Amino acid sequence: MKHPLFIYNTLTRRKEHFVPLNEDRVGMYVCGPTVYGDPHLGHARPSITFDILFRYLQQLGYKVRYVRNITDVGHLEHDADEGEDKIAKKARLEQLEPMEIAQFYTRRYHMAMDALNVLPPSIEPHATGHIIEQEELVKEILANGYAYESNGSVYFDVEKYNRDHHYGKLSGRNLEEVKNASRELDGVGEKHNQADFALWKKAQPEHIMRWPSPWSDGFPGWHCECTAMGRKYLGNHFDIHGGGMDLVFPHHECEIAQAVASQGDDMVHYWMHNNMITINGQKMGKSLGNFITLEQFFNGDHAALTQAYSPMTIRFFILQAHYRGTADFSNDALQAAEKAYERMMDGWHRLLALKAAPSSSITLEDYATRCAEAMNDDLNTPVVIATLFDACRVINQVNDGSATLSQADIDSLKQLFTTYLFNVLGLRDNASGEGNGIDLTPYQKAVELLLEVRRNAKAAKDWGTSDLIRDRLAEAGFDIKDTKDGVEWKVR
């Protein structure tokens, strides 16, 4: 399969031609959420970024096995090796079972992803369902001499590993920098070295999430799950591992070390990372008062929001930025995205209603090639969007009567929108149902019928019926606009 997709590999720090390990199959793993709270913007960006990659690889004809995990154990309060488990803490505060917490927030996460039109991954493994695999990984690393047991816990020996391999090759750090950065934290405790990280933690008596192991009753270190589950479902060597930039260090650096220490070589071919989201130029954080959940965006119920924003506005906003660039949320930026998204959908609706002429008065640009080239250039979604807007300008010209298009050209534009706007960018049109996977044809026909009755009423100067239909459709959530050529309508 030949195609020129280039993706930026964090490991080599350059764009590389994507060549899968198996000819027509791609294995990709993306770090999923830790399920102890409502999904927020920080969840939206990686899920949408890798949804685009998932969709585009399939568009190119690959069979993709996409694994995105659910972290339901081992993610400790300080993202380090200390502190209470985030899920266990929530369970303690709410007097629930940890699995009730994990189940509840996994469901909330799925609902938010569905709203954002993020396709479900092929496999969504849970860390707690793979304790045995994680213990096996720890045993292998111990057997190879890159870990040590200390007081019932097992730690990765970073110093020793770094003598044989390079610890820090993904994040571009060296061991001295890592040690200096972690020196301010409290003492080494049961670790030999502050830079070492936990592979297995002995549970304190009050710790409720625990499993038996050769070392102690305890739980796996956070980094183990992705190495163990990636290997289980994608094999010892697979194509793509993704996640947010905040995971490069320590999480992904530790994953690389675990893989090399256990199997002798790297597991992942291409590492990809999306940049972070800020709100009004600030990092999002509970203490800053700008922590906004996705549900709050959707219903506008937050002091920092002047209105509600639809899931498609959020998706469109995220795709207007390249995934490796920053994206700064503000009411102004979101309102602009909302208008832009509506303009795009207006273009699509006008395209559906265009009447073909015997011939085209203008030559269409090769928009599909421009879109493909943009996607092949490390998923450059802003350029795809700009190209579709160029196509919208032509549609508007034809709609205004200042240009004509043949049926073949109209069909090629429809194909362009279906492929790139709906299939690749994953946007959804609530009016035509495109991108929803639902056939809204009967419902469209019903609206068209009402509009036809209204047209006849107007022709017969029956203004009462005409106004009644317009007003009732407006009440039901339809925008009806009379134009010189007839009527345009859409769902608000």
Q: Of 127 and 294, which has the nearer Cβ to Zn ion?
A: 127
Nearer to Zn ion, 227 or 466 (CB): 227
* Contacts (Cβ under 8 Å, ≥6 apart) of 31: 46, 68, 69, 71, 226, 242, 243, 244, 247, 251
d(CA 42, CA 277): 7
DSSP helix/strand/coil, 65: strand
Q: Minimal distance in Å, beta carbon 274 to Zn ion?
A: 14
CB of 223 to Zn ion, least distance (A): 7
Kindly tell me which of 49 and 290 has the beta carbon lying closer to Zn ion.
Answer: 49
Minimum CB distance to Zn ion, residue 195 (Å):
19
Q: Minimum distance between the CB of residue 403 and Zn ion, rounded to whole angstroms? A: 51
CB 45 within 8 A of CB 244: yes
Half-sphere exposure of 179 (CA within 13 A, CB side): 12
The CA angle 116-119-120, to the nearest 5 degrees, is: 115
Structural tokens at position 38: 């409502």
For residue 120, is the peptide bond before it cis, meaning its omega torsion is within 30 degrees of 0?
A: no
Q: Which is nearer to Zn ion, 199 or 226 (CB)?
A: 226
Beta bridge partners of 482: 487
User: Strands (DSSP E) along 191-279, which ranges?
Assistant: 197-202, 218-220, 238-244, 268-274, 277-279
Which of 125, 141, 142, 157 shows the shortest CA–CA distance to 225? Answer: 125
Query: At closest approach, how far in Å is the CB of 235 from Zn ion?
Result: 17
Question: Is the CB of 31 or the CB of 259 nearer to Zn ion?
Answer: 31
Toward Zn ion, which CB reaches closer, 226 or 371?
A: 226
**Closer Cβ to Zn ion, 139 or 223, answer by number:** 223
Can you read off the two tokens belonging to residue 357?
């002429």
Instruction: Tell me if 157 sits within 8 A of 147, measured CB to CB.
Output: yes
In degrees and rounded to multiples of 5, residue 95 shows phi and psi of 55, 50
Read off the tokens for 42. 């920080």
Is the CB of 223 or the CB of 315 nearer to Zn ion? Answer: 223
**Contact 245/275 with Cβ under 8 angstroms?**
yes
Point out which residues bind Zn ion (CB under 5 A). Answer: 31, 226
Smallest gap from Cβ 201 to Zn ion, in A, equals 17
Q: How far is the CB of 251 from Zn ion (least distance, A)?
A: 6
Look up residue 112 and give its amino acid.
A
Closest contact distance (angstroms) between CB of 275 and Zn ion is 18
Nearer of residues 226 and 272 to Zn ion, judged by Cβ: 226
Nearest approach, Cβ of 29 to Zn ion (angstroms)?
Answer: 8
Residue 304 CB burial class (10 angstroms; 0-12, 13-18, ≥19):
middle
The token pair that represents 101 in the structure block: 């917490």
